[in-house]
Copies of this chain bind each other. A is one copy, B any other.
Amino acid sequence: MGAMINHDQDRDLRPFFAPRALAIVGATRKPGFGYILPVMLREQGWADRTYLVNPRGGELHGYQVLPSVAQLPDAVDLAIVMVGAERAPAALEEIGARGIRRVIVESAGFAETGEAGRLLQARMREVVRRYGLLAIGPNCVGVISPKERFSTVEVVPESLTPGPLGIIAQSGAFGNVLLDGLHQRGLYISKAVTLGNRMDVDESEVLEYFHADPDTRVIMMYLEGAADGRRLLATLKKVCADKPVLVLKSGRTETGRAATASHTGSLSGRDELYDAAFAQSGAIRAETLEELLCLARVFTTQPLPRGPRLGIITSSGSLGALAADVAVRHGLVLPPPSPELAAAIAKDAPAWMNVKNPLDVGPSSLYASSLPAMLQAPGYDLVLAVAIIPYSVVRQFQPLGLTPKVWFGDIVKAHADAPDKPLALAVVGANEFVADMARVSGPTVPVFTSPEACAKSLAGLWRYRRWRQSLGED
Residues on A lying within 8 angstroms of B by beta carbon are 31-33, 36, 39-40, 85, 108-109, 112-113, 117, 153-156, 169-174, 176-178, 180-181, 184, 222, 224, 248, 250-256, 258-260, 262-264, 287-290, 316-322, 324-329, 333-334, 351-352, 354, 356, 358, 360, 362-363, 388-393, 395-397, 428-431, 433-434, 449-453
Contact = CB atoms under 8 A, between A and B. Distances in A.
A39 B396 CA distance: 10
Contact of A260 (B113, B250, B321, B388): B321
Given A328-B253, A450-B289, A390 B316 contact: no
Contacts of A322: 248, 250, 256, 288-289
A290 B322 CA distance: 11
The 5 closest A-B pairs by CB, nearest first: A263-B317, A171-B318, A256-B325, A173-B316, A180-B430
Contacts of A319: 171, 173, 289
Contact of A289 (B153, B391, B395, B428): B428
A352 B252 CA distance: 25
A263 B452 contact: no
Given A177-B389, A250-B318, 16 more contacts: A85-B352, A112-B354, A153-B390, A170-B318, A171-B316, A173-B428, A174-B318, A177-B316, A181-B434, A224-B318, A253-B328, A254-B328, A263-B321, A263-B360, A287-B452, A288-B452
A411 to B, nearest CB: 18
Contact of A181 (B155, B255, B430): B430
Contacts of A181: 428-431, 434
Among A156, A176, A259, max chain B CB count under 10 A is at: A259
A169 B318 contact: yes
A393 B109 contact: no
A108 B352 contact: yes
A184 B352 contact: no
A288 to B, nearest CB: 4
B260 A172 contact: no
A429 B182 CA distance: 8
A307 B248 CA distance: 30
Nearest to A353: B113
Contacts of A352: 85, 108-109, 112-113, 117
A172 B316 contact: yes
Nearest to A85: B352
A318 B195 CA distance: 12
A45 B303 CA distance: 52
A155 B322 CA distance: 23
B396 A36 contact: yes
A204 B389 CA distance: 28
A147 B153 CA distance: 51
A1 B449 CA distance: 50
A170 B322 CA distance: 13
Given A32-B363, A259-B324, A324-B259, A156 B392 contact: yes
B178 A356 contact: no
B428 A177 contact: yes
Nearest to A426: B289
Contacts of A451: 289
Contacts of A171: 316-319
A440 B288 CA distance: 26
A317 B178 contact: no
Contacts of A154: 390, 392-393, 396
